[in-house]
């Protein structure tokens, strides 16, 4: 397979960081732990992840680029997602032992946009 044979994933732009965190947490419980990718592109701060929606009709899966445009670069290395007592998303430097209702998504900083993305 050559580079020209690789098609871009389907873009799925999410409304907020909280919505992106919810999606990553729900997908990570099905397949594997999720991480969030970050890069700057054309002056925008892009947060997202590549997900394969398995069993898409007769295909092996539908590749999705799930993302948001953030306000700025990540303030720390992890995104903390809390479900109780109130839903909350915040950047934290490292995972803590905050209990079972807190999940931490590692943020992976890329030097540039993934080549296969059609943004």
pLDDT in tens, 13-51: 999 999 999 988 887 666 567 789 999 999 999 999 988
Average pLDDT, rounded, for the chain: 86
Q: pTM for the whole thing?
A: 0.85
DSSP at 29? T
What pLDDT is recorded for position 40?
96
Return d(Cα 48, Cα 21) in angstroms, integer.
10
State the pLDDT confidence band at 84, using cuts at 50, 70 and 90. confident
Residue 43 belongs to a domain? yes
Residue 56 belongs to a domain? yes
Mean of pLDDT values over 50-62: 73
Helix (H) / strand (E) containing 106:
strand 102-109
Residue 48 belongs to a domain? yes
Domain count for the chain: 1
Residue 14 belongs to a domain? yes
Range of the domain at 59: 3-109
């Amino acid at each position: 397979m050559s580079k020209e044979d690789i098609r871009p994933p389907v873009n799925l732009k999410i409304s907020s960081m909280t919505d992106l965190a919810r999606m990553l947490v729900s997908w990570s419980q099905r397949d594997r732990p999720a991480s969030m990718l970050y890069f700057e592109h054309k002056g925008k701060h892009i947060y997202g992840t590549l997900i394969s929606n398995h069993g898409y009709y007769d295909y092996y899966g539908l590749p999705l680029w799930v993302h948001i445009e953030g306000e700025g670069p990540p303030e720390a290395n992890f995104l903390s997602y809390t479900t109780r007592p109130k839903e909350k998303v915040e950047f934290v430097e490292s995972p803590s032992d905050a209990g079972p209702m807190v999940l931490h998504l590692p943020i992976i900083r890329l030097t540039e946009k993934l080549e296969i993305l059609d943004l």
